Amino acid sequence: MGEVAVATDETKVDGVKGDSEQGLGSKAPEFIKARRVLHVSWQVGVFVIGLAIVVAGIIMLPLPGPGWVVIFGGMAVWATEFVWAQLVLRWTKRKVTEAAQRALDPKVRRRNIILTSIGLVIVGVLVGIYVWKFGIVMPWKIKDQ
């Protein structure tokens, strides 16, 4: 009469992770995970290395270089140790896969080709107007002033 049924989440049984959490968590070797101080030191090291890689990627965004690739590389380093980074990478992979599938749709491909063609025509017209108005002067022909 006074008992209350409690629904429990059965994702963990005897310390084993369920399907929804498979692969989440630290990838550190067992001897490191067994010692708290060593594991925290390991996590700090992974965080610092991942942060350096992400910062390098952010610096590359406005500069020449593969900025986004480097940022996701830093996230992959973080994902070896932190669940939040693993979840972000899973979400990102899912969104990229969905975008790739949408891009393969014939209607979307046709629209993208049309928009790209229109863009190229506009750029060509603007370059033509510039050359017609100002001409082309090669850098080695510029006279000293």
Look over the chain and give the mean of its residue pLDDT values, rounded to a whole number. Answer: 79
Contact 71, 50 (CB under 8 A): no
Mean pLDDT for 95-121 is: 89
User: Helices H, strands E: what count in the chain?
Assistant: 5, 2
The pLDDT, as a whole number, for residue 143 is 65
Determine the Cα angle at 43 with ends 87 and 83, to 5°. 15
Domain limits, the chain: 23-141
Q: Which pLDDT belongs to residue 30?
A: 76
Q: Coil, strand or helix: which one is 138?
A: coil
pLDDT at site 4? 46
If one compares 24 and 76, the residue with the highest pLDDT of the two is: 76
What pLDDT, on a 0 to 100 scale, did the predictor assign at position 119?
Answer: 96
pLDDT of residue 2: 47
Q: What does the pLDDT look like over 45-93, one tens digit per residue?
A: 889 999 999 999 999 888 888 888 899 899 889 988 888 888 988 998 8
- As a whole number, mean pLDDT of residues 25-45 equals 78
What is the average per-residue pLDDT within 39-47?
86
Torsions phi, psi of 140, nearest 5? -80, -5
Report the pLDDT value the prediction gives residue 20, as an integer from 0 to 100.
46
Q: What is the pLDDT of residue 139?
A: 64
pLDDT higher than threshold 70 for residue 35: yes
| Phi/psi of residue 15, nearest 5 degrees | 80, 0
